[in-house]
Structure 1
Amino acid sequence: MENEPLIDDALKTELSALYAAGDRHYHGLAHIEAMLALASDYRGEFGDPEAVEAAIWFHDAIYDSRAKDNEARSADLAEEKLEGRVDAERLKRIGAMILATAAHQLPPFDDAAAARDASLFLDMDLSILGAAPDAFDAYERAVRREYDWVEEPMWRAGRRAVLKTFLARPHLFHTQEFRQRFEPQARLNIARSLEALTVDRG
């Protein structure tokens, strides 16, 4: 158990197949790879880098834009696939990080290192908000395609509500590193998106 990686090549192949589904325009393998690249940048900051990597791989493994329980089902899948590879406490931490992506609120970890890992993990997941304008716009279009079953007025109202919730937070990101690196651009991107969503097309 100690010597084999949490996410071995067989598991990567299995999860990659889920992320390659045709209805995933943003929540696909490119999103996972972008998060893994950021995790590599901050690897020295993690208390448990492998647990963070596992949370990255599993956090969107189950994704249905019509469902409300994707995070819970993804956490369940992680528990099922990682059982026997990892001790119960570590598995619980991985599951809590995955569940936290539903509302992007930190899990109530007592352990400072675990809380720090979760903070960085959640910030990596939202880093697209602070991407360059072209990349952010591509992300917005991709998410819209994932919700192509939602009629435009309903989409605009729902998306505005989500973005306003983010803007109302004192900070979009939990860690100082990500606030410095992504927050100013993220606020500009979100404000621009809200403006576009508010313009009447009719």
Structure 2
Amino acid sequence: MRRDEVWDEAVRITGGDAAGLATVRADLLRRWSEPHRDYHDLRHLDEVLAALTELRPSALDDDLAWAAVVFAAWFHDAVYDATAPEDNERASAEMARDALSRCGVDSATVELVGELVEESATHDVTQTRGPRATFHDADLWILAAPLDRFDDYCSAVRREYADVPDDAYAAGRAAILGPFLDRADTYRTEHARRRWEPRARANLRVELDRLSGSR
């Protein structure tokens, strides 16, 4: 399904105010289209939604969980400022809670969406199915992308941090990517571990080698 169709399904499932949520969606599309975004843009949103769709049959048990991960995908990079990255997830989560609450989405779903967005800052998830595992894996699908897309992702993130000196960027980026390779499994859901894990680990080795200057 296209991004708007996925959004509309989530609106129907939650019974939120369709007109109000249409305005929220328009604002999110504007945010995802901001010119300073090279990776955290509409293509990334579409890839996360496609990954969620792939994981849905095996990792989610009900439609409300699906609606929550869809809303989390739309909101998780709603605020994206590379000059203050430590605050992006918190601010995006606050935006999600405020917007969804005002539009009549039930409080349990609103809180789950906010938590999913906040947790995307650390990707510290232990569950192997359900909304947390599913959203974690979908947001990290890019690590398992075909090599040309993975290379494009790495270059796009570097452009977003163009003001950071090379040495500092390499150290900081390695500190983010390295732990995903250090884990026993990069992904949490069984489907992602089986289908995405080998490519992700190969891609991570390539980028960590580049960051260290060994290739």
Normalization by structure 2: what TM-score? 0.84
Equivalenced residues, count: 196
User: Which of 33, 50, 57 is residue 46 of structure 2 equivalent to?
Assistant: 33
Name the CA shift for 1:65/1:100 in 2 (closer, same or farther; >3 Å).
same
Shift of 1:4: 4.4
Q: Is the 8 A contact 1:62 1:74 kept in 2?
A: yes
**1:93 aligns to what?**
112
- In 1, Cα distance between the equivalents of 2:20 and 2:41? 17
Could you list the per-position Cα deviations for residues 34-75 of structure 1 after superposition, in whole angstroms to 9, with x for gaps in the alignment? 111222233334232111110000000001112111100000
SS of equivalent to 1:69: helix
User: How many Å apart are 1:3 and its aligned residue?
Assistant: 5.9
Relative contact order (C-alpha < 8 Å, sep 6+): which is higher?
A: 2
Match of 1:54 in 2: 71
Q: Which runs of 5+ in 2 are unaligned?
A: 1-13
Partner residue in 1 for 2:193: 179
Q: Is the 1:97–1:107 contact (alpha carbons within 8 Å) kept by the matching residues of 2?
A: no
Gaps of 5+ in 1: none
Pairing 1:159-174 to 2, within 5 Å after superposition: 159-174=173-188
Does the Cα contact within 8 Å between 2:16 and 2:105 map onto a contact in 1?
no
Q: Percent identity?
A: 35
SS of the residue 2:192 aligns to = helix
Read off the aligned partner of 1:98 and give its amino acid letter: V
- Cα 1:101/1:6, change in 2 over 3 Å: farther
Equivalent residue in structure 2 for 1:80, among 75, 81, 98: 98
Name the TM-score, length of structure 1 as normaliser. 0.89
Aligned AA (2:78):
A
